């Protein structure tokens, strides 16, 4: 990749060691003559990343999710350095960042473009999600009655605690906790997973990338909550369907040249299986 000459830093000061690590990495960048920008506030305001080559996010996956919308719109790759817990998105460890930051700034990284979801709940009510869109009752944990259409075809009616619409990237988040499938990030699909459905045969459904999904609230006297990446909520217009589709925007995510998705999954989910050399084909 091209060397990074203009770099924005977003640091979650609440994460132990994040600010100190940010100062260290900014020192490395300054010594190579890189133009810097720093903030500890996120989500980012519109236009914050315009004109920058990359954005280094130091924190947890939640910190990165707070930057994802702006980075996708500005087409600026995110370098995620983990100072949180799991770190599925912030794939660089603190030690890796300290040891290899100069090489990374010189272009020793690859960019993976992650699918995002576009959600609309009415006129002027619109947002993007990198992980998932959650639909549930706005005030309580009671059952909701939701009707789902894929393009013009009825899928089914759900009586459940809610529905999760997940990207492949978000398949390791709420979707996985609700019993949904793990999906490789390179797959161009959307997963719909019901939360505690009353019909036991209701299971996750995988939709193709070009699908146009609509969800109608058929619950009596219930308002819906639509949560984007677990961080932002959309109001639902009265009688308006919730529309979900794959966005034209993708998130550019910077990764090590030797990045392995399944190595990350094995580590984070504590799967068994040692990393061994791939057998050569005969």
Radius of gyration from C-alpha coordinates of the chain = 20
Would you say 79 and 96 are in contact if contact means Cβ atoms under 8 Å apart?
no
Residues 271 and 56: their CA atoms lie apart, in Å, by 29
Q: What is the DSSP string of 37-71?
A: EEE---SPPTTTTTT-SEEEEEE-HHHHHHHHHHH
Alpha carbon 53 to its chain's center: 20
Out of 61, 127, 132, 229, pick the active-site residue: 61
61 is catalytic: yes
Q: Is 169 helix (H, G, I), strand (E, B) or coil?
A: helix
Q: Is the peptide bond before 192 cis (omega within 30 degrees of 0)?
A: no
Q: Which of 250, 264, 261 is nearest to 77 (CA)?
A: 250
Q: Quick one: angle between helices 18-31 and 94-105, nearest 10?
A: 20
Would you say 228 and 234 are in contact if contact means Cβ atoms under 8 Å apart?
yes
Q: Which of 216, 215, 224 is nearest to 192 (CA)?
A: 215
Catalytic residues: 61
């Amino acid at each position: 990749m091209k060397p990074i000459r203009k770099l924005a830093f977003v640091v979650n000061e609440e994460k132990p060691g994040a600010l100190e690590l940010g100062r260290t990495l900014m020192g490395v960048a300054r010594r190579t003559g890189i133009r810097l920008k720093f903030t500890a506030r996120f989500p980012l305001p519109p236009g914050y990343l315009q004109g920058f080559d990359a954005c280094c996010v130091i924190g947890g996956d939640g910190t990165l999710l707070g930057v994802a919308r702006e980075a996708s719109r500005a087409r600026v790759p995110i370098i995620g350095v983990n100072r949180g817990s799991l770190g599925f998105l912030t794939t660089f460890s603190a030690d890796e960042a300290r040891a290899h930051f100069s090489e990374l700034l010189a272009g020793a990284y690859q960019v993976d473009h992650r699918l995002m979801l576009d959600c609309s709940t009415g006129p002027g009510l619109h947002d993007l999600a990198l992980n998932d869109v959650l639909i549930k009752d706005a005030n309580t944990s009671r059952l909701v009655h939701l009707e789902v259409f894929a393009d013009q075809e009825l899928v089914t009616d759900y009586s459940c605690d809610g529905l999760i619409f997940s990207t492949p990237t978000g398949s390791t988040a709420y979707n996985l906790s609700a019993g949904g499938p793990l999906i490789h990030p390179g797959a161009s699909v959307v997963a719909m997973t019901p939360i505690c459905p009353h019909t036991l045969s209701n299971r996750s459904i995988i939709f193709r990338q070009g699908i146009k999904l609509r969800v109608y609230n058929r619950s009596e006297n219930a308002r819906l909550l639509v949560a984007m990446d677990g961080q932002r909520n959309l109001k639902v217009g009265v009688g308006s369907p919730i529309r979900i589709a794959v966005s034209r925007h993708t998130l550019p995510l910077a990764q090590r040249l030797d990045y392995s998705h399944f190595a990350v999954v094995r580590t984070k989910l504590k799967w068994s299986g040692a990393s061994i050399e791939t057998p050569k084909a005969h």
